[in-house]
């Protein structure tokens, strides 16, 4: 295998964020005393949250605003008299307690950490991501965690990857690869920075973007064989 520095996206690559998100949202609404489910509330929240994250990655909204605004808009759109700041606090606290591993994550990290160095690259909230990694049991395999919050720039900005690779013990472009589920952040970021990328695509989605992964896998169990094949090309 030619790679010795493995940069992993966290959410929906190593950790099943969708499962954690649903659990944390449900817990938050229950703690706020929301009696019964407002139909489609979680789905509305997801759409608002996604739009705000895209705005954050484009640099048009701060993370501090995002964390509360997603709940403020959700509550306002549904006529709910709930405190968005309290919702944000409860939700973030719950995220670190509702960690779900993607199938194969533990084995993959153990195998790659024996070969080289694993770093986490994430646009998520800095202290929450560290707590989630600790809860996941993956921490022993991870050498460092790079967050956009600490860096000041978000994926796919090349400055984020300059910051990230500066945390590694050793960095060589031809020996570095990003593994992530998002074409617009992880794979495009790798393209711009001039390093290899592995698109984790469990839904087998079509790639209709300008991002070009070096290799594509549908399961974390396929990553090591794919990287070996890439090195042999």
Q: Which residues are catalytic?
A: 9, 11
From residue 14, give the alpha-carbon distance in Å to each of 10, 79, 91, 103, 158: 5, 36, 20, 8, 22
Q: For residue 203, what is the DSSP state?
A: T
How open is the CA angle 16-21-25, to the nearest 5 degrees? 160
In 3D space, the residue among 109, 108, 113, 194 whose CA is nearest the CA of residue 156 turns out to be: 194
Q: Are 191 and 161 a contacting pair, CB within 8 Å? A: no
Dihedrals φ, ψ of 156, to 5°? -100, 20
In 3D space, the residue among 58, 61, 67, 63 whose CA is nearest the CA of residue 156 turns out to be: 58
Q: Report the sign of the C-alpha dihedral through residues 41, 42, 44, 49, in that order.
A: positive
Pairing of β 5-9 and β 215-217: unpaired
How far apart are the C-alpha atoms of 188 and 186, rounded to whole Å? 6
Q: Which SS3 state, helix, strand or coil, does residue 177 take? A: strand
């Amino acid at each position: 295998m030619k790679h010795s520095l493995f940069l992993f996206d966290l959410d929906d690559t190593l950790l099943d964020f969708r499962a954690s998100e649903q659990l944390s949202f449900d817990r938050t609404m229950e703690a706020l005393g929301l009696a019964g489910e407002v139909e489609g509330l979680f789905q509305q929240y997801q759409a608002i949250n996604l739009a705000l994250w895209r705005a954050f990655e484009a640099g048009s909204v701060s993370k501090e605003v995002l964390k509360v605004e997603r709940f403020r808009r959700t509550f306002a759109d549904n006529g709910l008299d709930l405190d968005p700041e309290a919702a944000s606090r409860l939700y973030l606290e719950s995220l670190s307690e509702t960690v779900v591993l993607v199938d194969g994550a533990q084995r993959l990290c153990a195998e790659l950490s024996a070969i080289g160095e694993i770093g986490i690259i994430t646009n998520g909230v800095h202290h929450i991501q560290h707590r989630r990694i600790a809860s996941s049991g993956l921490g022993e395999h991870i050498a460092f965690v790079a967050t956009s919050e600490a860096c000041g720039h978000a994926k796919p900005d090349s400055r984020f990857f300059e910051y990230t690779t500066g945390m590694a013990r050793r960095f060589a472009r031809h020996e570095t690869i990003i593994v992530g589920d998002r074409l617009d952040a992880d794979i495009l970021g790798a393209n711009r920075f001039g390093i290899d990328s592995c698109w984790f695509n469990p839904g087998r989605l079509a790639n209709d973007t300008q991002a070009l992964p070096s290799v594509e896998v549908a399961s974390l169990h396929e990553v090591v064989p794919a990287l070996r094949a890439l090195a042999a090309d």
